[in-house]
Amino acid sequence: MSDTRPAPVDVIRSATERTGTTGGLARALDKVFPRHASFLWGEIALYCFVVLLASGTYLALFFDASQAPTTYDGPYGPLQGVEVSHAYASVMRLSFEVRAGLVIRQIHHWAALLFVASIVLHMMRVFFTGAFRKPREINWVLGCTLLLLGLAMGFTGYSLPDDSLSGTGLRIADSVVLSIPVAGEWVSSLLFGGSWPSTIIVSRLFPIHVFVLPLALLGLIGGHLALVWRQKHTQFDGPGRTEDNVVGERVWPGFAMKSIGMLSLTAGTLAALGGFAQINPIWLYGPYDPAASSADAQPDWYIGWLEGALRLMPPLEIRAFGYTVPNPFFPGVLLPGLMFGALYGVPWIERRFTQDHRVHHLLDRPRDAPVRTAIGVAALSVVGVLLLAGAQDVIADTLSVPLATVRRLLQIGLLLVPAASGWFTFRLARSLARRDDPSVVEIRRGDSGGYAERPEASSR
């Protein structure tokens, strides 16, 4: 070939003739992303969201958000002739009669579970490495909001089929709303269109789930990514890595290929789960009936800690001046309010104690900040104990231990486990950090009787 010009030149020229710019694409393609595996969680969360949008759009084409009664006459025998809502019937039709409907429905549900899980893991990475520090406080706040929106997405989504499990979940949600001081009764009435049982809640949750929340998520994810792009990624310390550079792979072609590859792997994993792992079989739960709640009914995992908090709360309510603050207020409103308040405040709370106003692009290892790491582990263990409590009846049943014993142990555990795990983590992190500290030299007495530095300690 005699033509020595790179192939795309003509295309680029023709594009710039029309837009007047190369769009900064050259710089974008040269951008460098770090390679560390812990950075994948945010990407996976994003790709779960992509799968959610695609699969959810398909589901929405078949869903009927009406709670008007109809008689089920589909192919699922045990429910034939049973009065169900149109919403429930449409999900049944999607699961049994629409070809590929069930697999896409199950992919959607699994994607929701993994979406929240990967957000949580991503936040753990950011927290334990101190990536939330200046200049990334805004992105921490956006991330906390994305977690909240993810929870809201999950709850509004699994409430749509109007089955026994989701109806019971909504009933509990209503009791939490009712428990809000002063405004609770009004908020409940406006939300559910009157007092329980609601006949329109599904038709209200539907536009929230498919329009309002996805739009908010899209906007905030856009802002989140734009800030990452602008601020560039953090990176762990290492040879050649400083506060002033980013070492890793260029966007084009390596990172782009790997990232699209991750999208494919995420979607492929979700497809396998959707095909082989049954989830939310609403035909086994049956339609919602306010007079029936079944035992070992579990919400999706990311709501389980709230369910656990409701279960462990001692029987306490406040009655004064003719008004009442009912029991669910404390575990259902106050506790999550405090927890999310603390989560949002992380960058500012830490700064208050460290007085560290510097810009950080190099990450801490968890051992480098023992107090932060200990607090993080303690906070996670709170959620862990609450999550276990969300299954206390199943635990009692499986282990043949009286329920009262399990509840009491979990209540004690809720106080002790965070303290113990925090203390243990602090000690562990500090000793690991000391081991790595080059200024600490271990002297040992050798076999010959002389003293020597331990070689591996001194070589660090």
Chain residues 421-440 in contact with other proteins, contact rule CB under 8 A = none
What is the pattern of x (binds other proteins, CB under 8 A) and - over residues 116-135? Answer: -------------------x
Near other proteins in 22-51, by CB under 8 A: 30-32, 35
Identity (one letter) of the amino acid at 321? F
Beta-carbon contacts of residue 156 (< 8 Å; ≥ 6 apart): 205, 208, 209, 213
Near other proteins in 322-341, by CB under 8 A: 322-328, 331
Instruction: Name the one range near other proteins by CB under 8 A: 10-18, 114-122, 150-158, 256-264.
Output: 256-264
Six token digits for residue 395 = 């635990």
**Interface with other proteins, residue 1, by CB under 8 A:** no
Q: Phi and psi (nearest 5°) for 312?
A: -85, -15
**Interface with other proteins, residue 178, by CB under 8 A:** yes
Near other proteins in 387-406, by CB under 8 A: 392-393, 403-404
Near other proteins in 341-380, by CB under 8 A: 359, 361
Considering the complex, state which of residue 90 and residue 179 has its C-beta at the smaller distance from other proteins: 179
**Interface with other proteins, residue 211, by CB under 8 A:** no
Among 57, 245, 431, 458, binds other proteins (CB under 8 A): 245
Under a CB-based contact definition with an 8 Å cutoff, are residues 209 and 201 in contact?
A: no
Count of residues binding other proteins (CB under 8 A)?
Answer: 102
Residue pointed to by tokens 């002063």: 182
Considering the complex, state which of residue 5 and residue 99 has its C-beta at the smaller distance from other proteins: 99
* Least Å from the CB of residue 455 to other proteins: 31
What is the pattern of x (binds other proteins, CB under 8 A) and - over residues 134-153? Answer: -x------------------
Near other proteins in 181-200, by CB under 8 A: 181-186, 188-197
Near other proteins in 259-298, by CB under 8 A: 260-265, 267-269, 271-276, 289-297
What is the three-class DSSP state of 384?
Answer: helix
**Is the four-CA dihedral 381, 387, 392, 397 of positive or negative sign?**
negative
Under a CB-based contact definition with an 8 Å cutoff, are residues 366 and 429 in contact?
A: yes
Spatial distance between the Cα atoms of 305 and 391, rounded to a whole number of angstroms:
9
Beta-carbon contacts of residue 56 (< 8 Å; ≥ 6 apart): 108, 157, 210, 214
Under a CB-based contact definition with an 8 Å cutoff, are residues 439 and 431 in contact?
A: no
* Least Å from the CB of residue 44 to other proteins: 12
In angstroms, what CA-CA distances link 213 with 15, 52, 147, 160? 36, 12, 12, 14
Considering the complex, state which of residue 31 and residue 365 has its C-beta at the smaller distance from other proteins: 31
* Least Å from the CB of residue 429 to other proteins: 28
197 preceded by a cis bond (ω within 30 of 0)? yes
First to last CA, the chain: 56
Considering the complex, state which of residue 56 and residue 366 has its C-beta at the smaller distance from other proteins: 56
Instruction: Name the one range near other proteins by CB under 8 A: 148-156, 246-254, 340-348, 429-437.
Output: 246-254
**Interface with other proteins, residue 240, by CB under 8 A:** yes
* Least Å from the CB of residue 454 to other proteins: 33
Enumerate the β-bridge partners of residue 443: 453
Spatial distance between the Cα atoms of 68 and 84, rounded to a whole number of angstroms:
8
